[in-house]
Amino acid sequence: MTAVVMTAPAFAEEGVKLVIDGEELTTEVAPQEGNPLDPVRSGWTFRSEETQALETDDFENPGFPLVDYGEELWNTADGSTGKSCASCHGDASESMKGVRASMPKWNKEKNTLFTLEDYINLSREEHQGAKPWKWESQEMLGMTAYIGLQSRGMPVNVSIDGPAKEWFEKGKKMYYTRYGQLDLACAQCHEDNQGTMIRADHLSQGQINGFPTYRFKWSGLGSIHRRFKGCMDNIRAEPFKRGSDEFTALELYVAWRGQGLSVETPAVRN
């Protein structure tokens, strides 16, 4: 079995601010009641200066070509109804503001917890009469990045009340459950060993406030559930499917752990 070697903590320089387009984003907050992290820190604070700099410049940020594609899709008619997203929702900078910050959230009509991807495909099928997009398709990533951008700078603020509470508890249980041949839980890396080195990278707190995120490892944008799957692959576990109830529950719990951090979509990570 391959050993996982970790070294002493090494954090980003104190006082460094994430400023994008003249707006300072919140990358560190005090934890809400019940959150074991103190302080709560964005993954941006664990990155190198070079990676940090890419995220601060929309022109240099390698995730923006797909954001532009998402904007194009927003205004393009599709499906049997001949409608675009803009036909119903108008200007995304107004109608989609705050949407990413509140995801995932309970859908009363469908009586289940919905991710942003679920809401997009629901709208495509029921309102546009169009085929749903695959989870990791360029279309879905472009649209989630474009919608996510409209919430950039807003604090993550997910609801775990009512029927969402059961999903939250399920996600929490998953976070502390050991999986795979390496017998590891999410918490062992992102809680117990945050800031230490694993191979050539610092372990962050595993916050998801910047997704979809551009990762150099992927050479492109990827979804939250792709990152979850990658973690499970790394510990040699049988991963759940993207869009599964398991990953959706885990998404809610992890989003709650980052409550108060600014949405950074699209973030840049290693």
Catalytic residue numbers read 231
What is the enclosing helix (H) or strand (E) of 172? Answer: helix 164-175
| Omega before 212 within 30 of 0, i.e. cis | yes
- Give the count of beta carbons closer than 10 Å to the beta carbon of residue 164: 19
- Distances in Å between the Cα of 64 and the Cα atoms of 11, 55, 132, 265 are 27, 10, 23, 10
Q: 3-state DSSP call for residue 59?
A: coil
C-alpha count within 13 angstroms, C-beta hemisphere, residue 170? 15
User: Taking a C-beta distance cutoff of 8 angstroms, is the pair 147, 200 a contact?
Assistant: no
Helix axes 245-257 and 224-234, enclosed angle (nearest 10): 100
**Distance between CA atoms of residues 186 and 101, nearest Å:** 22
Q: What string of H, E and C letters represents the secondary structure of 63-132? A: CHHHHHHHHHHHCCCECCCCECHHHHHCCHHHHCCCCHHHCCEEECCCCEEECHHHHHHHHHHHHHCCCC
User: Taking a C-beta distance cutoff of 8 angstroms, is the pair 221, 66 a contact?
Assistant: yes
Q: Which residue has the tokens 């017998």?
A: 183
